[in-house]
């Protein structure tokens, strides 16, 4: 903690360089140490047009970091005995009997494979066109046209990132729990962790005023264009959050590796047991031939240098519209 505080000026300078060198309107960042947000700052503007500065309380769309919340919801239901990770998705989504599955029976698309991006499902829901943008974010509408849902690869053969898979996982959470997905995440994850500044659209008034504006850069220019409103999206990437709340989320992950985790039930949480959090972080397979990433459940490990190290895990995704870029990453202290 002392070292982080001593390096605050350098961290501030690094954040400002990131904004300047990458031509970003603004950014916010933080460093979590244990249960504390040891450093946090903003640089540039959350809304250049209105000259609103970025700060650790600014809300950004966190895109696919949302998937770690969806995975947590599924693991909660697994731990409660409501489902099994090796259940076929069609058990809960019978509409998938009408999906196009040229490689294997649709029962090969399991919840576990969907969570780890190895189901073979298409990357995006049918009809997605990011140039407009058009995105079908409602899983019930997606399932109403099952013939448009296509397996692009055999399940359990190779990595294929899939927003579609996570959209359908959100619908499984809804059907198994009996609670609409956004309400389930609020009630069972966000509120218990004190993440009051995190939520799905439509955001309430106080949160709405804290949102950053999304911009894209004009081709061959330094000028920015305000992006149009993003189509509705939920389980695969719809959350808004801020550095302060994401610090709580990272602290929750790190507490799964407390020194007494293996012997003391006090290390557990009513949100999700420490053992289940570690299960989510544990790499299941290498995602590329260069050994640069390995996928667990909703989290991607970044081993690097051909040394598989499950101690470092992250969730990130460059937003399709280039509105925002968000990343959350953690590393447990091996000295603990």
Q: How many CB atoms are closer than 10 A to CB 120?
A: 25
pLDDT tens-place string over residues 62-80: 999 999 999 999 999 999 9
Q: Residue 100 in contact with residue 129, Cβ under 8 Å?
A: no
- Residue pLDDT, tens place only, 83-117: 999 999 999 999 999 999 999 999 999 999 999 99
What mean pLDDT do residues 53-57 have?
97
Quick check: 240 and 207 in contact, CB under 8 A?
yes
- For residue 129, pLDDT over 80 is answered with yes
According to DSSP, the residues that pair with 241 across neighbouring strands are 60
Q: What is the pLDDT of residues 178-231, one digit of tens each?
A: 999 999 999 999 999 999 999 999 998 899 999 999 887 777 777 778 877 778
Cβ atoms within 10 Å, residue 214? 21
Is residue 4 exposed (0-12), middle (13-18) or buried (19+ Cβ within 10 Å)? middle
Contact of 64 with 315, CB cutoff 8 Å: yes
Question: What's this model's pTM, rounded to 2 decimal places?
Answer: 0.90
Residues 206, 197: Cα–Cα separation, whole Å: 9
């Amino acid at each position: 903690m002392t070292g982080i505080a001593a390096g605050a000026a350098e961290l501030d300078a690094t954040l400002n360089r990131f904004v300047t060198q990458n031509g970003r309107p603004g950014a916010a960042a933080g460093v979590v140490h244990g249960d504390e947000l040891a450093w946090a700052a903003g640089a540039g503007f959350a809304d250049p047009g209105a000259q609103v500065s970025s700060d650790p309380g600014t809300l950004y769309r966190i895109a696919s970091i949302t998937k770690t919340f969806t995975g947590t919801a599924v693991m909660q239901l697994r731990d409660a005995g409501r489902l099994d990770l090796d259940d076929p998705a069609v058990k809960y989504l019978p509409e998938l009997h009408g999906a196009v599955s040229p490689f294997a029976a649709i029962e090969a698309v399991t919840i576990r494979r969907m969570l780890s991006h190895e189901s073979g499902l298409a990357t995006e829901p049918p009809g997605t066109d990011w140039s407009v943008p058009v995105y079908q974010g409602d899983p019930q509408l997606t399932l109403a046209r099952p013939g448009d849902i296509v397996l692009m690869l055999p399940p359990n053969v190779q990595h294929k990132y899939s927003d579609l898979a996570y959209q359908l996982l959100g619908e499984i959470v809804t059907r198994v729990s009996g609670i609409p997905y956004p309400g389930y995440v609020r009630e069972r994850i966000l509120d218990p962790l004190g993440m009051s500044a995190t939520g799905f659209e439509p955001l309430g008034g106080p949160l709405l005023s804290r949102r950053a504006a999304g911009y894209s850069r004009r081709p061959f220019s330094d000028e920015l264009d305000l992006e149009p409103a993003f189509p509705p999206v939920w389980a695969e990437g719809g959350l808004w959050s801020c550095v302060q709340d994401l610090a709580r989320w990272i602290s929750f992950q790190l507490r799964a590796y407390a020194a007494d985790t293996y012997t003391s039930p006090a290390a557990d949480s009513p949100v999700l047991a420490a053992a289940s959090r570690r299960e989510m972080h544990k790499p299941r397979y290498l995602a590329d031939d260069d050994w640069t990433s390995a996928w667990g459940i909703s989290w991607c490990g970044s081993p690097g240098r051909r040394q598989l190290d499950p101690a470092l895990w992250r969730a990130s995704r460059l937003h399709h519209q280039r509105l925002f870029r968000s990343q959350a990453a953690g590393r447990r202290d091996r000295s603990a």
